[in-house]
A and B are shown apart, each in its own frame.
Chain A
Amino acid sequence: MRAGVISKRQLSQRTAFSLLITATIIVILPVLAIVIQIIVSGADAISLEFLTEAPSQAGKAGGILPAIVGTFYLMLGTIIVALPLGVMAGIYLTEYARDNWFTRSINLAIVNLAGVPSIVYGLFGLGVFVLLFHFGMSLLSASLTLACQALAMTVTTSREAILAVPREYREGSLAVGATRWQTIRHLVLPQALPGIITGAVLAMSRAAGETAPILVVGAAFLLPGLPQSPFDQFMALPYHLYTVAAHIPGMARSTMWGVALVLLVVVLSFNVLATVIRLRARQRRYSS
Protein backbone atom coordinates (compact mmCIF):
# COMPACT_ATOMS: atom_id res chain seq x y z
CA MET A 1 0.00 0.00 0.00
CA ARG A 2 1.45 3.34 -1.02
CA ALA A 3 1.18 6.39 1.15
CA GLY A 4 -1.17 9.07 -0.11
CA VAL A 5 -3.39 6.68 -1.99
CA ILE A 6 -6.72 6.09 -0.38
CA SER A 7 -8.16 2.68 -1.02
CA LYS A 8 -11.79 2.25 -1.93
CA ARG A 9 -12.55 0.71 1.41
CA GLN A 10 -10.98 3.58 3.29
CA LEU A 11 -12.89 6.05 1.14
CA SER A 12 -16.23 4.47 1.88
CA GLN A 13 -15.27 4.29 5.54
CA ARG A 14 -14.55 8.01 5.58
CA THR A 15 -17.70 8.84 3.65
CA ALA A 16 -19.84 6.87 6.07
CA PHE A 17 -18.19 8.55 9.05
CA SER A 18 -18.70 12.04 7.61
CA LEU A 19 -22.32 11.33 6.77
CA LEU A 20 -23.06 10.01 10.23
CA ILE A 21 -21.41 12.89 12.08
CA THR A 22 -23.13 15.41 9.80
CA ALA A 23 -26.48 13.82 10.60
CA THR A 24 -25.68 14.00 14.30
CA ILE A 25 -24.81 17.68 14.08
CA ILE A 26 -27.99 18.38 12.14
CA VAL A 27 -29.94 16.66 14.88
CA ILE A 28 -28.54 18.78 17.70
CA LEU A 29 -28.41 22.08 15.78
CA PRO A 30 -32.10 23.00 16.18
CA VAL A 31 -31.94 22.24 19.89
CA LEU A 32 -28.87 24.43 20.31
CA ALA A 33 -30.42 27.17 18.18
CA ILE A 34 -33.61 27.17 20.23
CA VAL A 35 -31.78 27.28 23.55
CA ILE A 36 -29.44 30.07 22.42
CA GLN A 37 -32.29 32.06 20.89
CA ILE A 38 -34.35 31.80 24.06
CA ILE A 39 -31.48 32.73 26.33
CA VAL A 40 -30.32 35.66 24.22
CA SER A 41 -33.78 37.09 23.65
CA GLY A 42 -35.23 36.32 27.04
CA ALA A 43 -32.38 37.22 29.38
CA ASP A 44 -33.31 40.92 29.32
CA ALA A 45 -36.77 40.23 30.68
CA ILE A 46 -35.54 38.29 33.66
CA SER A 47 -35.48 40.31 36.84
CA LEU A 48 -36.37 39.77 40.43
CA GLU A 49 -39.66 41.53 39.81
CA PHE A 50 -40.41 39.30 36.81
CA LEU A 51 -39.95 36.17 38.92
CA THR A 52 -41.62 37.29 42.12
CA GLU A 53 -44.60 39.44 41.19
CA ALA A 54 -48.03 38.87 39.77
CA PRO A 55 -48.70 40.17 36.27
CA SER A 56 -50.38 43.48 35.64
CA GLN A 57 -51.68 45.25 32.53
CA ALA A 58 -52.66 41.95 30.92
CA GLY A 59 -49.18 40.57 31.38
CA LYS A 60 -47.38 43.54 29.85
CA ALA A 61 -46.01 44.57 33.21
CA GLY A 62 -45.34 42.88 36.51
CA GLY A 63 -44.09 39.33 36.75
CA ILE A 64 -45.10 35.76 36.20
CA LEU A 65 -44.92 34.31 39.70
CA PRO A 66 -48.45 32.82 39.60
CA ALA A 67 -47.60 31.00 36.36
CA ILE A 68 -44.36 29.61 37.80
CA VAL A 69 -46.06 28.46 40.98
CA GLY A 70 -49.02 27.08 39.04
CA THR A 71 -46.73 25.03 36.84
CA PHE A 72 -44.93 23.63 39.89
CA TYR A 73 -48.25 22.71 41.48
CA LEU A 74 -49.31 21.02 38.26
CA MET A 75 -46.13 18.98 38.05
CA LEU A 76 -46.48 18.01 41.67
CA GLY A 77 -50.15 17.08 41.38
CA THR A 78 -49.51 15.11 38.22
CA ILE A 79 -46.70 13.07 39.66
CA ILE A 80 -48.43 12.41 42.99
CA VAL A 81 -51.18 10.68 41.04
CA ALA A 82 -49.31 9.24 38.06
CA LEU A 83 -46.21 7.86 39.77
CA PRO A 84 -47.73 5.50 42.36
CA LEU A 85 -50.38 4.31 39.91
CA GLY A 86 -47.80 3.85 37.17
CA VAL A 87 -45.37 1.97 39.39
CA MET A 88 -48.08 -0.28 40.80
CA ALA A 89 -49.42 -1.07 37.34
CA GLY A 90 -45.86 -1.65 36.15
CA ILE A 91 -45.24 -4.10 38.98
CA TYR A 92 -48.47 -5.93 38.29
CA LEU A 93 -47.80 -6.20 34.58
CA THR A 94 -44.23 -7.46 34.98
CA GLU A 95 -44.37 -9.57 38.11
CA TYR A 96 -47.90 -10.86 38.50
CA ALA A 97 -49.88 -10.68 35.28
CA ARG A 98 -50.12 -13.85 33.26
CA ASP A 99 -49.80 -13.69 29.53
CA ASN A 100 -53.45 -13.78 28.53
CA TRP A 101 -55.88 -11.69 26.50
CA PHE A 102 -56.57 -9.43 29.48
CA THR A 103 -52.90 -8.53 29.97
CA ARG A 104 -52.38 -8.15 26.27
CA SER A 105 -55.32 -5.76 25.96
CA ILE A 106 -54.00 -3.72 28.90
CA ASN A 107 -50.63 -3.46 27.23
CA LEU A 108 -52.26 -2.44 23.98
CA ALA A 109 -54.29 0.20 25.81
CA ILE A 110 -51.16 1.62 27.43
CA VAL A 111 -49.40 1.88 24.09
CA ASN A 112 -52.41 3.67 22.64
CA LEU A 113 -52.69 5.92 25.69
CA ALA A 114 -49.40 7.49 24.68
CA GLY A 115 -50.71 8.19 21.21
CA VAL A 116 -53.90 10.02 22.18
CA PRO A 117 -53.67 13.72 21.24
CA SER A 118 -53.31 15.86 24.33
CA ILE A 119 -56.40 18.00 23.64
CA VAL A 120 -58.45 14.80 23.81
CA TYR A 121 -57.19 14.33 27.37
CA GLY A 122 -58.32 17.88 28.01
CA LEU A 123 -61.83 17.13 26.83
CA PHE A 124 -61.85 13.92 28.86
CA GLY A 125 -60.79 15.88 31.94
CA LEU A 126 -63.48 18.46 31.29
CA GLY A 127 -66.13 15.79 31.01
CA VAL A 128 -65.03 13.62 33.91
CA PHE A 129 -63.18 15.70 36.51
CA VAL A 130 -64.66 19.16 35.94
CA LEU A 131 -68.27 18.24 35.25
CA LEU A 132 -68.96 14.68 36.41
CA PHE A 133 -66.95 14.80 39.64
CA HIS A 134 -67.69 18.52 40.18
CA PHE A 135 -64.03 19.37 40.78
CA GLY A 136 -64.69 22.47 38.68
CA MET A 137 -62.13 24.35 36.61
CA SER A 138 -59.32 23.78 39.05
CA LEU A 139 -55.79 22.75 39.79
CA LEU A 140 -57.14 19.38 40.89
CA SER A 141 -58.95 18.73 37.61
CA ALA A 142 -55.90 19.80 35.62
CA SER A 143 -53.53 17.64 37.67
CA LEU A 144 -55.75 14.61 37.27
CA THR A 145 -56.07 15.26 33.54
CA LEU A 146 -52.32 15.56 33.09
CA ALA A 147 -51.84 12.51 35.31
CA CYS A 148 -53.98 10.45 32.92
CA GLN A 149 -51.73 11.53 30.12
CA ALA A 150 -48.55 10.93 32.15
CA LEU A 151 -49.67 7.42 33.11
CA ALA A 152 -48.73 6.05 29.73
CA MET A 153 -45.17 7.13 30.39
CA THR A 154 -44.90 6.18 34.06
CA VAL A 155 -46.33 2.71 33.45
CA THR A 156 -44.07 2.09 30.48
CA THR A 157 -40.88 3.32 32.12
CA SER A 158 -41.65 1.53 35.39
CA ARG A 159 -42.28 -1.68 33.52
CA GLU A 160 -39.07 -1.38 31.55
CA ALA A 161 -37.02 -0.50 34.63
CA ILE A 162 -38.47 -3.51 36.48
CA LEU A 163 -37.89 -5.83 33.55
CA ALA A 164 -34.27 -4.69 33.39
CA VAL A 165 -33.57 -6.13 36.85
CA PRO A 166 -31.82 -9.45 36.16
CA ARG A 167 -33.81 -12.63 36.67
CA GLU A 168 -30.89 -14.04 38.71
CA TYR A 169 -31.65 -11.57 41.49
CA ARG A 170 -35.28 -12.63 41.68
CA GLU A 171 -34.32 -16.30 41.72
CA GLY A 172 -31.69 -15.71 44.39
CA SER A 173 -34.23 -13.98 46.56
CA LEU A 174 -36.99 -16.54 46.08
CA ALA A 175 -34.46 -19.29 46.73
CA VAL A 176 -33.87 -18.07 50.29
CA GLY A 177 -37.59 -18.16 50.94
CA ALA A 178 -38.51 -14.54 50.31
CA THR A 179 -42.05 -14.06 49.07
CA ARG A 180 -42.71 -12.57 45.69
CA TRP A 181 -43.72 -9.27 47.23
CA GLN A 182 -40.62 -9.18 49.48
CA THR A 183 -38.51 -9.81 46.41
CA ILE A 184 -40.17 -6.92 44.62
CA ARG A 185 -40.09 -4.61 47.61
CA HIS A 186 -36.53 -5.23 48.79
CA LEU A 187 -34.68 -6.19 45.64
CA VAL A 188 -36.47 -5.37 42.40
CA LEU A 189 -37.84 -1.93 43.25
CA PRO A 190 -34.59 -0.51 44.70
CA GLN A 191 -32.84 -1.69 41.56
CA ALA A 192 -35.50 -0.29 39.27
CA LEU A 193 -35.80 3.01 41.15
CA PRO A 194 -33.38 5.10 39.07
CA GLY A 195 -35.20 4.09 35.89
CA ILE A 196 -38.56 4.76 37.48
CA ILE A 197 -37.44 8.20 38.66
CA THR A 198 -36.14 9.06 35.22
CA GLY A 199 -39.49 8.18 33.72
CA ALA A 200 -41.33 10.13 36.38
CA VAL A 201 -39.29 13.25 35.78
CA LEU A 202 -39.73 13.03 32.04
CA ALA A 203 -43.46 12.75 32.65
CA MET A 204 -43.30 15.81 34.91
CA SER A 205 -41.38 17.80 32.34
CA ARG A 206 -43.94 16.95 29.76
CA ALA A 207 -46.76 17.90 32.11
CA ALA A 208 -45.01 21.23 32.71
CA GLY A 209 -44.98 21.90 29.00
CA GLU A 210 -48.55 20.90 28.16
CA THR A 211 -50.85 23.66 27.03
CA ALA A 212 -53.82 22.10 25.30
CA PRO A 213 -55.21 19.84 28.04
CA ILE A 214 -55.10 22.42 30.82
CA LEU A 215 -56.73 25.02 28.58
CA VAL A 216 -60.15 23.48 29.10
CA VAL A 217 -59.87 22.24 32.69
CA GLY A 218 -58.79 25.23 34.72
CA ALA A 219 -55.87 27.27 33.46
CA ALA A 220 -56.57 30.96 33.73
CA PHE A 221 -55.06 33.70 31.66
CA LEU A 222 -54.63 36.17 34.45
CA LEU A 223 -54.90 35.73 38.19
CA PRO A 224 -53.91 38.28 40.75
CA GLY A 225 -52.64 35.78 43.28
CA LEU A 226 -51.58 32.21 43.85
CA PRO A 227 -54.04 29.32 44.07
CA GLN A 228 -55.00 28.76 47.70
CA SER A 229 -56.52 25.30 47.35
CA PRO A 230 -56.63 22.45 44.81
CA PHE A 231 -60.06 23.71 43.80
CA ASP A 232 -58.79 27.10 42.65
CA GLN A 233 -58.00 28.08 39.11
CA PHE A 234 -54.35 28.59 38.30
CA MET A 235 -51.91 30.08 35.85
CA ALA A 236 -49.33 27.99 34.06
CA LEU A 237 -46.22 28.95 32.11
CA PRO A 238 -47.01 27.35 28.73
CA TYR A 239 -50.55 28.71 28.65
CA HIS A 240 -49.29 32.12 29.75
CA LEU A 241 -46.73 32.01 26.96
CA TYR A 242 -49.43 31.11 24.47
CA THR A 243 -51.67 33.98 25.49
CA VAL A 244 -49.00 36.66 25.71
CA ALA A 245 -47.60 35.57 22.38
CA ALA A 246 -50.87 35.17 20.50
CA HIS A 247 -53.53 37.27 22.13
CA ILE A 248 -52.03 40.38 23.68
CA PRO A 249 -51.29 43.10 21.15
CA GLY A 250 -48.30 45.27 21.85
CA MET A 251 -46.57 42.73 24.03
CA ALA A 252 -42.84 43.31 24.41
CA ARG A 253 -40.97 40.54 22.65
CA SER A 254 -38.53 40.17 25.47
CA THR A 255 -41.37 39.36 27.86
CA MET A 256 -42.46 36.43 25.68
CA TRP A 257 -38.94 35.13 25.46
CA GLY A 258 -38.60 35.67 29.16
CA VAL A 259 -41.57 33.41 29.85
CA ALA A 260 -40.14 30.82 27.47
CA LEU A 261 -36.78 31.01 29.23
CA VAL A 262 -38.34 30.45 32.64
CA LEU A 263 -40.32 27.49 31.31
CA LEU A 264 -37.17 26.03 29.81
CA VAL A 265 -35.23 26.49 33.05
CA VAL A 266 -38.01 24.83 35.07
CA VAL A 267 -38.07 21.80 32.79
CA LEU A 268 -34.30 21.52 32.47
CA SER A 269 -33.67 21.89 36.19
CA PHE A 270 -36.03 18.99 36.81
CA ASN A 271 -34.16 16.91 34.28
CA VAL A 272 -30.85 17.76 35.93
CA LEU A 273 -32.31 16.87 39.31
CA ALA A 274 -33.37 13.49 37.95
CA THR A 275 -29.95 12.85 36.52
CA VAL A 276 -28.32 13.67 39.84
CA ILE A 277 -30.67 11.34 41.71
CA ARG A 278 -30.02 8.57 39.23
CA LEU A 279 -26.25 8.98 39.32
CA ARG A 280 -26.20 8.99 43.11
CA ALA A 281 -28.33 5.86 43.21
CA ARG A 282 -25.93 4.17 40.84
CA GLN A 283 -22.90 5.26 42.85
CA ARG A 284 -24.42 3.99 46.05
CA ARG A 285 -25.16 0.69 44.39
CA TYR A 286 -21.60 0.05 43.30
CA SER A 287 -19.62 1.43 46.17
CA SER A 288 -21.71 0.66 49.22
Chain B
Amino acid sequence: MKMNSELLNKNAAVNKSVKLSTKGVNLYYGNFQALRNITLDIPQCAITAVIGPSGCGKSSFLRIFNRMNDLITGARVEGQVELAGINIYDRSIDVVELRKRVGMVFQKPNPFPMSVFENVAFGPKRHGKNNVGELEDIIERSLHQAALWDEVKDKLGQSALSLSGGQQQRLCIARVLAVEPEVILMDEPCSALDPVATLKIEDLMRSLAENYTIVIVTHNMQQAARVSDTAAFLMMEEDRAGVLVEYGPTSELFTNPKDKRTEDYITGRFG
Protein backbone atom coordinates (compact mmCIF):
# COMPACT_ATOMS: atom_id res chain seq x y z
CA MET B 1 0.00 0.00 0.00
CA LYS B 2 2.70 2.48 0.88
CA MET B 3 4.35 3.66 -2.23
CA ASN B 4 7.96 4.32 -2.79
CA SER B 5 8.00 7.88 -3.95
CA GLU B 6 11.74 7.98 -4.34
CA LEU B 7 11.63 5.25 -6.91
CA LEU B 8 8.74 6.82 -8.77
CA ASN B 9 10.53 10.13 -8.86
CA LYS B 10 13.45 8.48 -10.53
CA ASN B 11 11.12 6.99 -13.10
CA ALA B 12 9.45 10.31 -13.76
CA ALA B 13 12.63 12.18 -14.25
CA VAL B 14 14.47 9.54 -16.11
CA ASN B 15 14.65 11.26 -19.48
CA LYS B 16 14.66 14.91 -18.57
CA SER B 17 16.60 17.05 -16.20
CA VAL B 18 14.84 18.22 -13.07
CA LYS B 19 13.48 21.77 -13.10
CA LEU B 20 11.57 21.93 -9.86
CA SER B 21 11.80 19.70 -6.87
CA THR B 22 10.32 19.50 -3.42
CA LYS B 23 11.97 17.73 -0.54
CA GLY B 24 9.85 16.87 2.47
CA VAL B 25 7.58 19.87 2.03
CA ASN B 26 4.98 20.61 4.65
CA LEU B 27 2.66 23.58 4.26
CA TYR B 28 0.66 25.00 7.13
CA TYR B 29 -2.06 27.63 7.23
CA GLY B 30 -1.90 28.47 10.92
CA ASN B 31 -2.62 25.16 12.61
CA PHE B 32 -4.04 23.51 9.52
CA GLN B 33 -1.61 21.35 7.58
CA ALA B 34 -2.34 21.61 3.87
CA LEU B 35 0.57 19.57 2.48
CA ARG B 36 2.30 16.58 4.08
CA ASN B 37 5.89 15.66 3.49
CA ILE B 38 5.82 16.00 -0.27
CA THR B 39 8.90 14.95 -2.17
CA LEU B 40 8.96 14.93 -5.96
CA ASP B 41 10.94 16.08 -8.97
CA ILE B 42 9.31 17.95 -11.82
CA PRO B 43 11.02 17.46 -15.20
CA GLN B 44 12.10 20.35 -17.39
CA CYS B 45 10.20 21.23 -20.58
CA ALA B 46 7.38 18.85 -19.83
CA ILE B 47 3.87 19.10 -18.47
CA THR B 48 3.27 17.84 -14.99
CA ALA B 49 -0.35 17.50 -13.92
CA VAL B 50 -1.47 17.62 -10.31
CA ILE B 51 -4.77 15.83 -9.86
CA GLY B 52 -6.92 15.03 -6.90
CA PRO B 53 -10.29 15.72 -5.31
CA SER B 54 -11.38 19.20 -4.24
CA GLY B 55 -9.71 20.50 -1.11
CA CYS B 56 -6.82 18.04 -1.26
CA GLY B 57 -4.24 20.80 -1.53
CA LYS B 58 -3.56 20.91 -5.29
CA SER B 59 -3.65 24.68 -5.56
CA SER B 60 -1.68 25.09 -2.35
CA PHE B 61 0.93 22.76 -3.80
CA LEU B 62 1.13 24.75 -7.03
CA ARG B 63 1.50 28.01 -5.14
CA ILE B 64 4.57 26.92 -3.23
CA PHE B 65 6.57 27.20 -6.47
CA ASN B 66 6.08 30.94 -6.92
CA ARG B 67 5.59 31.59 -3.22
CA MET B 68 2.06 32.84 -3.76
CA ASN B 69 1.19 31.32 -0.39
CA ASP B 70 3.35 34.06 1.14
CA LEU B 71 0.40 36.39 0.64
CA ILE B 72 -1.70 34.41 3.08
CA THR B 73 -1.20 35.40 6.69
CA GLY B 74 -0.18 32.42 8.77
CA ALA B 75 1.07 30.35 5.84
CA ARG B 76 4.33 28.54 6.58
CA VAL B 77 6.45 26.16 4.49
CA GLU B 78 8.80 23.52 5.84
CA GLY B 79 11.26 21.55 3.79
CA GLN B 80 12.98 22.46 0.56
CA VAL B 81 11.53 23.71 -2.70
CA GLU B 82 14.11 24.02 -5.42
CA LEU B 83 14.11 25.77 -8.77
CA ALA B 84 17.01 24.51 -10.85
CA GLY B 85 18.75 23.36 -7.70
CA ILE B 86 18.29 26.57 -5.71
CA ASN B 87 16.13 26.64 -2.60
CA ILE B 88 13.51 29.27 -3.32
CA TYR B 89 12.64 29.63 0.35
CA ASP B 90 16.16 30.70 1.17
CA ARG B 91 16.35 34.11 2.79
CA SER B 92 18.52 35.45 -0.01
CA ILE B 93 15.84 34.78 -2.63
CA ASP B 94 14.13 37.81 -4.16
CA VAL B 95 10.48 36.79 -4.45
CA VAL B 96 9.87 39.29 -7.23
CA GLU B 97 12.69 37.80 -9.29
CA LEU B 98 11.38 34.30 -8.54
CA ARG B 99 7.90 35.16 -9.80
CA LYS B 100 9.41 36.52 -12.98
CA ARG B 101 10.99 33.11 -13.57
CA VAL B 102 7.95 31.16 -12.39
CA GLY B 103 4.81 32.62 -13.94
CA MET B 104 1.25 31.73 -13.03
CA VAL B 105 -2.08 31.45 -14.81
CA PHE B 106 -5.17 31.42 -12.64
CA GLN B 107 -8.41 29.51 -12.53
CA LYS B 108 -10.56 32.44 -13.55
CA PRO B 109 -9.14 34.48 -16.45
CA ASN B 110 -7.99 37.71 -14.80
CA PRO B 111 -7.05 40.16 -17.54
CA PHE B 112 -6.46 43.62 -16.15
CA PRO B 113 -9.07 46.24 -17.02
CA MET B 114 -6.88 47.84 -19.65
CA SER B 115 -6.14 47.31 -23.32
CA VAL B 116 -4.92 44.02 -24.78
CA PHE B 117 -1.58 45.67 -25.45
CA GLU B 118 -1.22 47.04 -21.94
CA ASN B 119 -2.09 43.68 -20.43
CA VAL B 120 0.79 41.96 -22.15
CA ALA B 121 3.08 44.95 -21.65
CA PHE B 122 2.33 45.06 -17.93
CA GLY B 123 5.05 42.64 -16.86
CA PRO B 124 7.84 43.88 -19.17
CA LYS B 125 7.10 47.48 -18.17
CA ARG B 126 7.38 46.63 -14.49
CA HIS B 127 10.74 45.10 -15.25
CA GLY B 128 11.95 48.32 -16.79
CA LYS B 129 11.25 47.83 -20.50
CA ASN B 130 9.74 51.09 -21.71
CA ASN B 131 10.97 51.32 -25.27
CA VAL B 132 7.84 51.25 -27.45
CA GLY B 133 9.47 49.35 -30.30
CA GLU B 134 10.85 46.75 -27.96
CA LEU B 135 7.49 46.41 -26.23
CA GLU B 136 5.72 45.96 -29.56
CA ASP B 137 8.09 43.13 -30.42
CA ILE B 138 7.53 41.46 -27.05
CA ILE B 139 3.77 41.77 -27.37
CA GLU B 140 3.65 40.34 -30.87
CA ARG B 141 5.93 37.46 -29.89
CA SER B 142 3.98 36.69 -26.70
CA LEU B 143 0.61 36.81 -28.41
CA HIS B 144 1.93 34.54 -31.19
CA GLN B 145 3.21 32.10 -28.58
CA ALA B 146 -0.17 32.18 -26.86
CA ALA B 147 -1.91 31.49 -30.20
CA LEU B 148 -3.87 34.69 -29.86
CA TRP B 149 -2.15 37.06 -32.26
CA ASP B 150 -4.35 36.46 -35.29
CA GLU B 151 -7.48 37.04 -33.25
CA VAL B 152 -6.42 40.25 -31.56
CA LYS B 153 -3.83 41.86 -33.84
CA ASP B 154 -6.40 44.40 -35.02
CA LYS B 155 -7.70 45.21 -31.58
CA LEU B 156 -4.62 45.62 -29.45
CA GLY B 157 -6.03 48.93 -28.24
CA GLN B 158 -9.34 47.49 -27.16
CA SER B 159 -10.21 46.58 -23.62
CA ALA B 160 -9.10 43.09 -22.70
CA LEU B 161 -12.45 42.66 -20.99
CA SER B 162 -14.15 42.67 -24.39
CA LEU B 163 -12.46 39.38 -25.34
CA SER B 164 -14.17 36.01 -24.89
CA GLY B 165 -13.33 33.85 -21.88
CA GLY B 166 -10.99 31.60 -23.81
CA GLN B 167 -9.25 34.56 -25.41
CA GLN B 168 -8.92 36.19 -22.01
CA GLN B 169 -7.22 33.12 -20.62
CA ARG B 170 -4.82 32.97 -23.57
CA LEU B 171 -4.17 36.66 -23.02
CA CYS B 172 -3.26 35.86 -19.42
CA ILE B 173 -0.88 33.21 -20.72
CA ALA B 174 0.61 35.78 -23.11
CA ARG B 175 0.98 38.18 -20.20
CA VAL B 176 3.02 35.58 -18.36
CA LEU B 177 5.07 34.68 -21.46
CA ALA B 178 5.96 38.33 -21.98
CA VAL B 179 8.30 38.29 -18.98
CA GLU B 180 10.04 35.18 -20.36
CA PRO B 181 9.56 32.80 -17.45
CA GLU B 182 11.09 29.35 -17.24
CA VAL B 183 8.17 27.72 -15.51
CA ILE B 184 4.44 28.30 -15.99
CA LEU B 185 2.10 27.29 -13.21
CA MET B 186 -1.51 26.80 -14.23
CA ASP B 187 -4.22 26.58 -11.63
CA GLU B 188 -7.20 24.86 -13.29
CA PRO B 189 -6.82 27.17 -16.30
CA CYS B 190 -9.77 25.71 -18.19
CA SER B 191 -12.32 25.32 -15.45
CA ALA B 192 -14.13 28.49 -16.48
CA LEU B 193 -14.00 27.72 -20.24
CA ASP B 194 -16.14 25.85 -22.73
CA PRO B 195 -14.83 22.64 -24.37
CA VAL B 196 -13.64 24.35 -27.55
CA ALA B 197 -11.69 27.00 -25.67
CA THR B 198 -10.37 24.26 -23.40
CA LEU B 199 -8.97 22.31 -26.34
CA LYS B 200 -7.28 25.43 -27.66
CA ILE B 201 -5.56 25.97 -24.32
CA GLU B 202 -4.51 22.32 -24.23
CA ASP B 203 -2.99 22.55 -27.72
CA LEU B 204 -1.25 25.70 -26.61
CA MET B 205 0.14 23.95 -23.55
CA ARG B 206 1.56 21.17 -25.68
CA SER B 207 3.38 23.61 -27.92
CA LEU B 208 4.62 25.65 -24.95
CA ALA B 209 5.99 22.53 -23.29
CA GLU B 210 8.75 22.47 -25.88
CA ASN B 211 10.33 25.47 -24.23
CA TYR B 212 8.71 25.80 -20.83
CA THR B 213 8.24 23.67 -17.78
CA ILE B 214 4.53 23.55 -17.08
CA VAL B 215 2.79 22.46 -13.91
CA ILE B 216 -0.97 22.27 -14.19
CA VAL B 217 -3.53 21.67 -11.49
CA THR B 218 -6.68 20.14 -12.86
CA HIS B 219 -9.75 18.40 -11.53
CA ASN B 220 -10.36 17.09 -15.03
CA MET B 221 -8.67 13.71 -15.35
CA GLN B 222 -9.21 13.48 -19.09
CA GLN B 223 -7.34 16.72 -19.38
CA ALA B 224 -4.48 15.41 -17.25
CA ALA B 225 -4.35 12.27 -19.36
CA ARG B 226 -4.43 14.27 -22.60
CA VAL B 227 -1.81 16.87 -21.91
CA SER B 228 0.58 15.79 -19.20
CA ASP B 229 3.84 13.85 -19.28
CA THR B 230 3.96 13.18 -15.59
CA ALA B 231 1.18 13.25 -13.06
CA ALA B 232 0.92 13.55 -9.31
CA PHE B 233 -2.12 12.36 -7.40
CA LEU B 234 -2.82 14.27 -4.20
CA MET B 235 -5.46 13.17 -1.79
CA MET B 236 -7.24 14.06 1.36
CA GLU B 237 -7.43 11.23 3.84
CA GLU B 238 -10.11 11.60 6.48
CA ASP B 239 -9.01 14.88 8.07
CA ARG B 240 -5.53 14.84 6.61
CA ALA B 241 -5.17 17.00 3.51
CA GLY B 242 -2.24 17.19 1.12
CA VAL B 243 -1.07 13.59 0.94
CA LEU B 244 0.90 12.65 -2.18
CA VAL B 245 -0.35 9.21 -3.09
CA GLU B 246 1.38 8.55 -6.36
CA TYR B 247 3.63 10.30 -8.80
CA GLY B 248 4.94 9.05 -12.10
CA PRO B 249 4.67 9.13 -15.87
CA THR B 250 1.09 9.93 -16.83
CA SER B 251 0.73 6.86 -19.01
CA GLU B 252 1.66 4.60 -16.12
CA LEU B 253 -0.40 6.42 -13.56
CA PHE B 254 -3.50 6.18 -15.68
CA THR B 255 -3.09 2.70 -17.14
CA ASN B 256 -1.28 0.91 -14.40
CA PRO B 257 -1.63 2.76 -11.11
CA LYS B 258 0.49 1.33 -8.35
CA ASP B 259 -1.72 2.52 -5.56
CA LYS B 260 -5.27 1.28 -5.01
CA ARG B 261 -6.41 4.79 -4.09
CA THR B 262 -5.14 6.19 -7.40
CA GLU B 263 -6.95 3.47 -9.26
CA ASP B 264 -10.16 4.17 -7.35
CA TYR B 265 -9.90 7.85 -8.10
CA ILE B 266 -9.13 7.64 -11.80
CA THR B 267 -11.80 5.05 -12.39
CA GLY B 268 -14.26 7.41 -10.77
CA ARG B 269 -14.97 5.44 -7.65
CA PHE B 270 -14.65 8.57 -5.53
CA GLY B 271 -13.83 12.27 -5.80
> What is the distance, in angstroms, from A33's C-beta to the closest C-beta of chain B?
41
Q: Contact between A187 and B112 (Cβ–Cβ < 8 Å)?
A: yes
Given contacts A176-B103, A177-B97, A179-B96, contact A168 B123 (CB under 8 A): no
Known contacts A172-B112, A177-B96, A177-B97: A98-B123 contact under CB 8 Å: no
Least Cβ–Cβ distance between A177 and chain B, in angstroms:
3
B40 contacts chain A at the CB level, 8 A cutoff: no
Q: Which A255-282 residues have a C-beta within 8 angstroms of B? A: none
Q: Does B226 contact A (CB under 8 A)?
A: no
| B-contact 0/1 string along A155-195, CB 8 Å cutoff | 00000000000101101111111110010001100010000
Query: A13: CB under 8 A from chain B?
Result: no
In the complex, what's the smallest C-beta–C-beta distance from B259 to chain A, in angstroms? 33
In the assembled complex, the Cα of A174 lies from the Cα of B99 at a distance in Å of: 7
Residue tally, chain A, CB below 8 Å to B: 22
CB-CB contacts of B113-124 with A at 8 A, as 1s and 0s? 111000000110
Closest to B104 in A: A175
Stretch from B79-87, B157-165, B199-207, B210-218 at the A interface: B157-165
Expressed in whole angstroms, the Cα–Cα distance for A172 and B172 within the complex equals 8
Q: Contacting B123 at CB < 8 Å: which of A171, A177, A191, A287?
A: A177
A179 to B127, CA, bound (A): 10
Q: Is the CB of A172 within 8 A of B161?
A: no
The answer to whether B159 touches A288 (Cβ under 8 A) is yes
**Within 8 Å of chain A (Cβ to Cβ): is B170?**
no
User: Are A286 and B113 CB-contacts (below 8 A) given A168-B108, A172-B106?
Assistant: yes
Residues of B within 8 A of A176 (CB): 99-100, 103, 122-123, 126, 175-176, 178-179
Residue pair A286, B161 in contact (C-beta under 8 Å): yes
Please tell me if B4 contacts chain A, counting CB pairs below 8 Å. no
Judge whether B110 and A168 touch: CB under 8 Å. Answer: yes
Cα–Cα, bound, A142→B124 (Å): 46
Chain B residue with Cβ nearest A175: B104
A178 touches B110 (CB 8 A): no
B222 lies within 8 A of chain A by Cβ? no
CB B91 to nearest CB in A, in angstroms, measures: 18
Within 8 Å of chain A (Cβ to Cβ): is B3? Answer: no
In-complex Cβ contact of B71 among A172, A174, A288 (8 A): A174
Does B73 lie at the interface of the complex (its beta carbon under 8 Å from any beta carbon of A)?
yes
Complex CA–CA separation, A187 to B175 (angstroms): 14
User: For chain A residues 78-104, which have a beta carbon within 8 Å of chain B?
Assistant: 98-99
Nearest 5 A/B pairs, CB to CB: A177-B100, A176-B123, A168-B110, A175-B104, A178-B126
